[in-house]
A and B are shown apart, each in its own frame.
Chain A
C-alpha cells in the first residue's frame, strides 16, 4: 500500500513538472499557433538563474528566504528571456508558422549551446534548502519533500492561471483569442499584446519548473529542458492545444502512467507507454481531452 502511495505522489510530482512546462506551451500554441521549441531554453534559464543567484547574488542563498529570493530571480530571468524572444524573434514572423518553428528550433540549439559554453556541459549540484532533501511520512510512505514542493507549486500556478483567465480582462482576451483569433482582431483588440503576455506567463511557469526541477533532481544541466520538453509536447497534444485544464489532466495521466509502469514493468517501458497513449488519443480523439482540434 505504501508503495502505491509513494508511486502516486512521486508520479504527481513528475506530473507537476510536466504541467508547469506544458501549460505555457499549450497557451502559446492555442493563442499564437507557435510550437515553441525554445521553451526548454526558458526552463534552462530559470534553473541556471536560480543556481547563479543562490551563489552570487547578495541576499540570496540556498536556504530559507534567500532561496525564495533566488527562485524569484530565476523566474524573473526566464520571464524576461521569454518576453525578449517574443518581441524580437517571433513577432516579425506571425502567421508564418513554419518559420516560427524554425526560429525556435535555432534558438533552442544556440541557447542550450550558450548555456553549455558559459557553465559547462556537466551537471552542477543545485543549491537547495535542507528540508527538501528530507522525506515526509504520508500514510506510511516516505515521500521526498522536493516532489511535494513541486505539487504545491503546480497547484498554485494552475489556480493562478485559471483565476487570471477567468476574472481579468486580458484573461478574457486570451480565452477569446484561443477560440477565434480573427474575430478578436476584428473587434479591434490588439491581440499581439496578449501574445507577449502568454509568452511571459509560459516563460515564468517554465522557469519555475526549471528552478523547482533543480531542487527535485538535485542537479542542473544544460540539456535538462530538452528531455522534459518532449514529454511536455506529449502532454499538450493529449490535453488538447490551448487548454490549461486539459494540460493539467493530461500531465497527471502521463506522470502516473510513467511512474507506475516504470516501477512495475521494466525501466523505460513507462516512457514508451506514454507515447502509445499519445497514439491512441490521436487515433480516437485528435483534438485531445479538452481543446480545439489539433489538426486545424
Chain B
C-alpha cells in the first residue's frame, strides 16, 4: 500500500555534490595530469627552491621517480588500511621482497631482468598469500602486531646476510651489466621516471577497479562492520586475504621498479619504519580516497628528501639551537605534522577542500536564507 508507494528519501542539499564550473572537465583531470607528468621530462624549466636543478636534470627526475613509486606504494597500502580497514605493520616486507628478490636474481643468479621481475612479483604475491593466511587468523591490533613480527623476520634475514645473499648492512648494489641498455646510466634516468609513472598508473588503476567492483564493496563493508558481512553469508577471511595478497603483489612490483631507480638494495627498506611512513602517507593524504594516498606518498617522499636540505639551510641554522636541531630532522617535522593531522584533519589532505568550501560558504551570506 502506502509503504510501496513511499517516495524515496529526500537527499539533503548539502549531501548532493556541488556542480562547479569544472564538472564537465573533472573526469578527464587524471588523464590530463598523466599527460603532463609524462611530458614533464621534455621541459627545461627550473623551479628554484622546489628542485635543485632544471626539471629534466637526472637528479630531479630520480627524486620525482622515487616520489611516484611511493605514491603507488601508499595507494596499494591504502587498499589494506583505508579501504578494508586492516592495520598492517608489515607492508615493508613485500616491498623489500621485490627489491631484494630482483637484486639477488639479477646480481647473484645472473637472470635477465624480465625473468627476475616476473619471478620476484610472483614470489612476493605468494609470500603475501602465505603470511596473510596465518596473520589474518587474528584481527585488529593483534593482526598489526603479527604482521610487524613477520616483517621483522625479513629485516633480520636481510641484516644477518644468510648465505651471503643480501650483503647485510652494506646492502647489495645492482649488477647493471645484464640489464637492458635503456635502463642503465645517468642519461637514461628519464626512462626510469616513465617506468615509475607507469607503475603509479597501474596501481591507481588496479585499486580503482577493485574498489569499484563487488569485491571492493565487500571490502568497504568489512571496514565498516565486519560482523555484518559475516551475517550476510560472506566469508570475511577470504576477502581480506584477497586484499592482502593483491596489496602485497603490488608492493613487490613497486620494489622491482625501485631497485632499478636506486641501483641497489639497502637494509633500511626492510625496517618497520618504512611501513610506519606508508601509514603516515596514507593518513596525511586521506585514507580510502582515490588520490589522497598518492598525493600523501608523493609529498611525504618529497618532503623527506627536501627537508634534509631545508634543515641544513642558513635560514634554519640561524635559529636558536632549540629550534634548529629538531627542524633539521625530517622525521620530527613529519611526525609532528602527522599527529596534528590525526587530531585536526582526520580525513587527510583530500578532506581539506570540502572543509574549506564549507567554511567559505558559511562565512559568505547565503542568498537562500
Contact = CB atoms under 8 A, between A and B. Distances in A.
Interface of A: 29, 33, 35, 37, 89, 92-93, 97-99, 101-103, 105-114, 116-118, 226, 230, 233-234, 236-237, 241, 266-268, 271-272, 275, 278-279, 282-283, 286, 294-296
Interface residues of B, number: 43
Contacts of B283: 102
Given A106-B280, A113-B331, A295 B157 contact: no
12 contacts: A105-B338, A106-B335, A109-B273, A109-B276, A110-B332, A110-B339, A112-B331, A118-B326, A234-B145, A272-B153, A279-B134, A295-B139
Contacts of A230: 148-149, 152, 272
Contacts of B339: 89, 103, 106-107, 110
B298 to A, nearest CB: 19
B272 A109 contact: no
A101 B273 contact: no
A117 B145 CA distance: 29
Interface in B3-56: none
B329 interface: yes
Given A97-B140, A105-B280, A272 B326 contact: no
Contact residues of A: prevailing secondary structure: helix
B146 A110 contact: no
Nearest to B141: A35
Contacts of A105: 276, 279-280, 338
A295 B335 contact: no
Contacts of A268: 156-157, 159-160, 162
Contacts of B279: 102, 105
Contacts of B335: 106-111, 113
B80 to A, nearest CB: 13
B137 A113 contact: no
A13 to B, nearest CB: 20
A37 B144 CA distance: 11
B275 to A, nearest CB: 10
Given A92-B343, A275-B150, A118 B144 contact: no
B324 to A, nearest CB: 9
A26 to B, nearest CB: 12
A9 B272 CA distance: 30
A192 B343 CA distance: 20
A275 B277 CA distance: 23
A275 B152 contact: yes
Contact of B325 (A111, A118, A234): A118
B326 A114 contact: yes
B74 to A, nearest CB: 15
Contact of B331 (A110, A282, A283): A110
B87 interface: yes
Nearest to B131: A279
